[in-house]
Amino acid sequence: MENERIIAVRGLEVSARVGVPDEERATPQRLLVDLKFAALSQPETLNDDIALTVDYHTVSLSVAEMAGDHPRKLIETLADEIAEELLSEFGLRWIEITIRKFILPQTEWVAVSTRRESSGGKAESCRNGCEATAEQANLKAET
């Protein structure tokens, strides 16, 4: 296995309308999201260039936007939607997501975790120049 850079975002606070009962979805609630991921393209050196990696700030903004986008009954659904969107939009090799919800009395939190992997091909659409990084990886492989 080649070297792999892993990016982690821990405790990203988002607001979402999520819960099985209608009353629970009536008002937004605080969720904490942990992300761990790796880019499909892993150039040997990054040359201090953000375009050659995944911009975790942009990823975080995307997660917050998706969380508040529309109501859901299950945090599992939210985790699945985030995973699929980030895999395709940011050209990720794999992603692990944990979402913590603070709803049950007498508990600190409840959580769901999921892991998804890319199908291995280049993502159909990418933010943050992942098409360029995939192209650079292909050029390196040809040399």
Which one of 36, 101, 122, 140 is the catalytic residue?
Answer: 101
> If you search the block for the tokens 């794999």, which residue do you land on?
94
Give the tokens for residue 28. 């937004």
Whether 101 is catalytic is: yes
**Cross-strand partners of 35:** 9, 97
Tell me how far apart the alpha carbons of residues 14 and 25 are, in angstroms, rounded to a whole number. Answer: 15
Give the tokens for residue 96. 């692990």
**CA neighbours closer than 13 Å in the CB half-sphere of residue 48:** 0
Q: What is the DSSP letter of 91?
A: T
R_g of the chain, CA atoms, integer Å: 17
Give catalytic residues, as residue numbers. Answer: 101
